[in-house]
Amino acid sequence: MYILKIVAISIILTILCLVVKQYKPEYAVIMQIASFCTIAFLLILSLDELIQMIKDIADMSEVDITFLTLLIKALGVAIITQVAMQICNDSNNKTLAFGVELSGKIAILSMCIPMIKAVAQIAIKIIKG
């Protein structure tokens, strides 16, 4: 169970960040980034199980694995974008946070174009009969 480790580490690192912020606020952001990297590393270790479950679901449902891969990639982009946006917001840089958010949305949209194309082709086949 990685979640218990992640929660415990998150609480400890949050307290440490608050202490550092009182004495050296300029180091708090760096410490927050390092804290996130630690938590992200723990999450990466648990991804093998998730990927295997998704492959099993794809095999059972006969869904094309490329669509599920695309879904996972889009989720990864959304998570990375959200983290970067939060870091920018914590640093009081709202304009940069907006830029990161917009970039993430455009990246996800561009990743989904092959899926949209496939759905459109299926719709055309159904309409033509």
Asked if residues 90 and 96 have their Cβ atoms less than 8 Å apart, the reply is no
* Strand segments (E) across the chain: none
Query: What is the pLDDT at residue 98?
Result: 94
The whole-number pLDDT of residue 38 equals 85
- pLDDT of 100 reads 94
Across the chain, mean pLDDT equals: 86
- C-alpha dist (Å) from residue 31 to 17, 21, 51, 82: 6, 9, 30, 18
Q: What's the pLDDT tens digit per position in 95-109?
A: 999 999 999 999 999
Confirm if 78 and 122 have CB atoms less than 8 A apart: no
pLDDT digits (tens, 9 = 90+) for 48-83: 777 788 778 777 877 777 777 888 889 889 989 998
